[in-house]
């Protein structure tokens, strides 16, 4: 007969750290970029393109 083997199982718990403030500030930053781009496009279409 074989001797019994003692095996220790290591358990790891991975907790994802989630900073809501960082997510909110990133969202505000990219929302501002999109608003600026659409504002620039609106200005071009409304005022610059009719001059041609």
Give the pLDDT score at 2.
Answer: 62
| pLDDT confidence of residue 1 | 58
**Count of domains observed in the chain:** 1
Q: What pLDDT is attached to residue 36?
A: 98
Gap between the Cα atoms of 40 and 11, Å rounded: 54
- Quick check: is 29 in a domain? yes
> pLDDT tens digits, the chain, 52 residues: what are they?
566 777 788 888 888 777 888 899 999 999 999 999 999 999 999 999 888 8
Query: Does the reported pTM lie above 0.75?
Result: no
Q: Is residue 2 part of a domain?
A: no
CA distance 21 to 40: 29
Q: Write the DSSP assignment of the chain as a string of letters.
A: -PPPPP-PPP---------HHHHHHHHHHHHHHHHHHHHHHHHIIIIIGGG-
Does residue 28 sit within a domain?
yes
């Amino acid at each position: 007969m074989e001797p019994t083997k003692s095996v220790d199982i290591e358990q790891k718990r991975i907790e994802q750290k989630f900073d809501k403030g960082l997510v909110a500030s990133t969202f505000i930053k990219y929302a501002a970029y999109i608003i600026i781009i659409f504002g620039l496009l609106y200005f071009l279409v409304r005022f610059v393109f009719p001059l041609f």
